[in-house]
Amino acid sequence: MPIKIPDNLPAAKILKEENIFIMDETRATTQRIRPLKLLILNIMPTKIVTETQLLRLLSNTPLQIEVDWIHMASHDSKNVSKEHLLAFYKTFDDIKDNKYDGLIITGAPVEKLDFHDVDYWDELTTLLEWSKTHVFSSFFICWAAQAALYYFYGVSKYLLSHKLTGVYLHHTNVEKMQRKILRGFDYQFYAPHSRYTSVSKEDIEKINDLDILAESKEAGVYIVASKDGSRFFVTGHPEYDPDTLDKEYKRDLANPDIISEMPKNYYLNDDIHNEIQVKWRSHAYLIFANWLNYYVYQQTPYNLDELKER
């Protein structure tokens, strides 16, 4: 089944070339089913790239999805044109009276800053508070996972001694395998990370409402979930394209002010000239499909006006 997107969104051409079933707005108006309504706050600097990455993963289910994109009005996005934002994005004020089946908030390259020093922190926390009564289930990625853990549960982040970048082996929590978000998972799987900060397993274990569902010996806690399925926190980047870490590394190499770290377990034999070892794509599709199916589609009320605080 398709994902519904605006007729002229740049991602549409790429997805069609990949034979991914998308539905333009014109055709969607003829459908007689209620699509899942998702809100995506895209705070990654490369917005068009991130749009394509997320839409690719969200389209891999038999569900029709309708996406509203928003950006932070209090932040000046320098890597995307104002025309693109005006054409395809809204602000929180535009959607605050709506209700949604699901919310996704992306990562952002601001993890070295204290949360309160991020220029859009107040606007973000307004959105997070609003989500309690206007969103059925939320999915937070990388920095957004850290920010949401801090806002909802008081979990602090800490600065790493060097950038954590690469594709790391993870293992599921065998005692939590009954959680539907893990359905179909291998006990061991790979996922990309790219960040300078982390959260403490010990801090999360003190919170009764949270379960640690997967982690890595090298990369730490990976999937954290509220017991009622209303919030999922993923500390890595399952949505990354095969060459995303490669582009980030080469960008850092060209910047004399950054100590560049070669992504671990990424290039064959750790040689930048060798092929990239893509080990995480099946996991990426599965985690998004499980979230959409088991925690959004199967549980959300048909009438979104019936949403209650979660």
For residue 5, name the pLDDT band (cuts at 50, 70, 90).
Answer: low
Q: Which of 134, 239, 248, 283 is catalytic?
A: 239
Residue 300 has pLDDT above 90, yes or no: no
The tokens for 306 are 């019936």
Residue 21 within a domain: no
Minimal CA–CA distance to 106: which of 61, 56, 51? 51
pTM of the entire predicted model: 0.88
- Is 273 tagged catalytic? no
The tokens for 149 are 């853990």
pLDDT of residue 6: 74
Average pLDDT, the chain: 91
Q: How far apart are CA 291 and CA 149, in angstroms?
A: 18
- Is 237 tagged catalytic? yes
pLDDT of residue 22: 57
pLDDT of residue 85: 84
Surface-to-core class of residue 36, CB atoms within 10 Å of its CB (0-12 exposed, 13-18 middle, 19+ buried) = buried
pLDDT of residue 215: 98
* Orientation angle between helical segments 47-58 and 10-17, nearest 10 degrees: 50
pLDDT tens-digit series, residues 56-110: 999 888 888 999 999 998 888 777 788 888 889 999 999 999 999 999 999 999 9
User: In which domain, by residue range, is 98 found?
Assistant: 32-306
pLDDT tens-digit series, residues 199-240: 999 999 999 999 999 999 999 999 999 999 999 999 999 999
pLDDT of residue 31: 46
Residue 6 within a domain: no
The tokens for 18 are 């990949």
pLDDT of residue 301: 81
Residue 2 within a domain: no
Cα 66–Cα 68–Cα 70 angle in degrees, nearest 5? 165
Residue 296 within a domain: yes
How many CB atoms sit inside 10 A of residue 158's CB? 10
CB 203 within 8 A of CB 213: no
Residue 258 has pLDDT above 90, yes or no: no
pLDDT tens-digit series, residues 168-204: 999 999 999 999 999 999 999 999 999 999 999 999 9
pLDDT of residue 9: 77
CB 175 within 8 A of CB 287: no
**In this structure, what CATH number is given to the domain that contains residue 229?**
3.40.50.880
CB 288 within 8 A of CB 60: yes
pLDDT of residue 230: 96
Provide the percentage of residues in the chain whose pLDDT is more than 70. Answer: 92
Annotated binding site for substrate: 163, 194, 251
pLDDT of residue 127: 98
Reduce the DSSP state of residue 85 to 3 states and report it. helix
The tokens for 241 are 């394209």
pLDDT of residue 309: 78
Residue 153 within a domain: yes
Give the count of domains, the chain. Answer: 1
pLDDT tens-digit series, residues 11-57: 777 766 765 655 555 554 544 467 899 999 999 998 999 999 999 99
pLDDT of residue 305: 79
Residue 139 within a domain: yes
Annotated binding site: 163, 194, 251
Task: Map tokens 């991602």 to a residue.
Answer: 11
Q: How far apart are CA 63 and CA 222, in angstroms?
A: 26
Q: Which of 71, 142, 215, 248 is catalytic?
A: 142
Cα 172–Cα 176–Cα 181 angle in degrees, nearest 5? 75
Q: Give φ, ψ of 263 to 5 degrees.
A: -55, 130
Residue 27 within a domain: no
Q: Which residues pair with 210 in a beta bridge?
A: 226
Q: Which residues pair with 24 in a beta bridge?
A: 5
Residue 105 within a domain: yes
Reduce the DSSP state of residue 185 to 3 states and report it. coil
Q: Give φ, ψ of 293 to 5 degrees.
A: -75, -55
The tokens for 121 are 């922190």
pLDDT of residue 34: 77
Q: Which of 71, 134, 193, 237 is catalytic?
A: 237
Question: Which helix (H) or strand (E) element contains residue 4?
Answer: strand 3-5
pLDDT tens-digit series, residues 113-169: 999 999 999 999 999 999 999 999 999 999 999 999 999 999 999 999 999 999 999
**H helices within the chain, ranges in order?**
10-17, 25-28, 47-58, 82-88, 92-95, 121-134, 143-153, 201-205, 244-253, 281-290
